[in-house]
Amino acid sequence: MPLKPEDKTAIIAQLRKSLSKCCPPMVVSKDTEDTLELIGNKPVPYGSKKKIVPGMYFASFVARKDSVSLYFFAIYFHAKDYEKTIPNLGKVLKGKTCFIFKKPEQVFAKELDAMLKQGVKAWKKNGYMK
């Protein structure tokens, strides 16, 4: 079932607000009406060939027809560290790094902000940030 336009707008607004709190130190690498992508602020080697990328991917959201997806890469490395931080958001976590929001009430702002803050600390600790 398609997402109502007002619900989509509310979800995007909250995700944009929370992700924007990470900038700086994160850097916006893509910003459109339905997408926002953040990367670290330090060039780092990536992949098997250790190609230097402008910043390690951190998080993004993408609006779809029936939902809004939030991809949060830091949780991939440290999933156990986030379990206590996101008891309610964990219910919409599909797979390892993707949160699927179909209703505005599924976006728990305090948990989202805490999760992102914890992710920024992890990026600094792992050397992906200046």
Rounded Cα–Cα distance for residues 87 and 108 (Å)? 10
Q: What is the pLDDT of residue 105?
A: 94
Profile the chain (130 residues) by mean pLDDT over runs of 10 residues: 89 96 94 95 89 93 95 86 87 92 94 95 90
Rounded to the nearest 5 degrees, what angle is found at the Cα of 12, between the Cα atoms of 7 and 16?
Answer: 155
Q: Helix, strand, coil: what percent of the chain each, to 5?
A: 35, 25, 35
Q: What is the pLDDT of residue 98?
A: 95
Give domain 5-125's CATH architecture.
Alpha-Beta Complex (3.90)
Tell me: cis bond preceding 43? Omega within 30 of 0 counts. no
What type of residue sits at position 43? Answer: P
Q: What is the pLDDT of residue 79?
A: 75
Q: What is the pLDDT of residue 78?
A: 77
Q: How many Cβ atoms are within 10 Å of 25's Cβ, its own excluded?
A: 16
DSSP secondary structure of 88-124: TGGGGEETTTEEEESSGGG--HHHHHHHHHHHHHHHH
* Domain map (residue ranges) of the chain: 5-125
Q: What is the pLDDT of residue 2?
A: 78
